[in-house]
Amino acid sequence: MDGSIDKYKARLVVQGFRQKFGVDYVDTFAPVMRFSTVRLIFALSAAKNCEMHHVDVKNAFLNGDLEEDIYVKPPTGIDHNTPPGMVWKLNKSLYGLKQAPLCWNKKLVDKLEALGYKAAKKEPCLFYKINGKDFSIIGLYVDDILTASNVPGEFERFFKGLSGYFAIKDEGGVNKFLGIRVQDSDRTISLDLEHYIADMIEVFKLSNQTAKSIPLPKKHGLDFPQGLDARPANQSLYRSILGKLQFAAQTARPDIAYATGKLAQYASDPRAIHMDRAYHVLSYLKGTKDLAIVYHKNVPGASPRLLRGWSDADWANDPDRKSISGFAFSHGPSTFSWKSAKQKLTATSTTEAELIAAFSATCEAVYFRDLLKELGESQPTTVIMEDNKGVLDLMKDSKHHERTKHIDTKYMRTRDHVKAGDTRLEAVASADNVADIFTKALAKPQFLYLRNLLGMSTRPQVEGGNGLDAVLVSSNNTSIVTPQSFSKTRRRKDQEIES
């Protein structure tokens, strides 16, 4: 790349902002895969030793078929020989149309079905072809296609068939998908954001700042800033950092999910302390940019990999007294689904907060149980680990109690799934509850312990194994330091807190 011009390119774009609902378009929604489904594909591929490919469709939106009559004015600046007063009628979809993504999705789905693939009922962007132990799946994210199959020659047949309809390119083995770096070895498939984080380091000028060992100090001081910490911060910069962090937290860095969610609460009026803590998270990512979620490949004769989960809540520790829910799910030793979110209701007890969190975890479990069943992976009762005795007792005893009679009946649906045999809540020590990492800021030893339980490790550790089947507490980044932009007072406080 020497900065010279490789080629000139122009694109005709329709002024979709001038379209009228009911005249030029009706439906516009086009589905995409959930990130958790993307990770499940990698987890299943590791378990079944699949061959994976990344296929890109060129000019995808130009392939869609329009259902409405769309007329456009000829563009200025080019010769088109259109008589004065005349307009163009579109024969196909074009970029800029509100319905362009939907038109493309319908066309692609139609062709995939023609090739013998079936759309999953629970995930409209996941397609499969299963016959006994022969396993082939396809995931769609707009014009990016992720394929995995343990059937020799299946990808070649798929590629040849799809190329008969669209101009497509085989990117080869999956090296990068949706901004996530993928490293596929003989023993593992790992997902990391090293390149993405390196770009953030450059954009936000962190090259000379020293890394942090945890995303947030346990006593982070975000809720009630005073003095210099309460000075207004640059909102535009803060939101830019926050957007970058949210992508990381949603894709391949579950370890910053709580910190990112906490910082997001102050996006409308960030203060100096909030900006400091945002840079704190960036500095943590800088020091752990090679940290990956690792899915270990199966060996012949290994026991089936099961769906299992963890649920937790931090009761009433936010200024508005709403609690934080967290859950995590794994298929085998490593996590593929997680969530950290503030509860919408104000729980009046620890048990109520934990029950609300358990309900969210149960909904996730039922969703993936149904999806896995459709993919030929029927699950026995899914175990969800829970550290609250009150919730465990409620799952066993359906009698009404004075202290729980006010709880919304929908949260009691968790018990219905337990009775039906879909899920089972089992006791786990609070210190071993993986979901705790999604509900609060933790001291360094506990944070590193739970981070390892998520199935995350650095590249030298990958082949050795880690995650929920083997507890290894280690880090390549154990020194307690503060980015240079922090004040000396803040530096001393952070060192005391983290130690």
Q: Does residue 358 sit in the same domain as residue 333?
A: yes
Q: Does residue 217 sit in the same domain as residue 321?
A: no
Give the per-residue pLDDT at 44. 95
Domain count, the chain: 3
The series of mean pLDDT values per 10 residues for the chain, 499 residues long, is 80 93 94 96 95 95 95 86 91 96 97 97 96 95 96 96 96 92 94 96 91 92 86 96 98 97 95 95 96 87 83 88 95 94 89 93 97 95 95 78 65 88 96 96 95 84 45 31 34 42
**CATH code of 383's domain:** 3.30.420.10
Strand partners, 425: 384
CB 256 within 8 A of CB 215: yes
For residue 132, count CB atoms less than 10 angstroms from its CB and return exposed for 0-12, middle for 13-18, buried for 19 or more: exposed
**pTM given for the model:** 0.87
For residue 88, count CB atoms less than 10 angstroms from its CB and return exposed for 0-12, middle for 13-18, buried for 19 or more: middle
CB 365 within 8 A of CB 422: yes
Give the per-residue pLDDT at 469. 43
Q: Does residue 390 sit in the same domain as residue 348?
A: yes
Q: Does residue 39 sit in the same domain as residue 108?
A: yes
| Separation of alpha carbons 405 and 389, rounded Å | 17
Give the per-residue pLDDT at 483. 31
Of 30, 485, 13, 77, nearest to 282 by C-alpha is 485
Q: Does residue 51 sit in the same domain as residue 166?
A: yes
Q: Does residue 215 sit in the same domain as residue 346?
A: no
Q: What is the DSSP letter of 25?
A: B
In this structure, the chain runs to a length of 499
Q: Does residue 137 sit in the same domain as residue 218?
A: no
Give how far Cα 138 sits from Cα of 38, 120, 157, Å. 10, 10, 13
- Asked whether residue 369 is domain-assigned, the answer is yes
Give the per-residue pLDDT at 235. 96
* Residue for token pair 């995931």: 139
| Separation of alpha carbons 54 and 158, rounded Å | 12
Q: Does residue 209 sit in the same domain as residue 308?
A: no
Domain of residue 196 covers 192-287
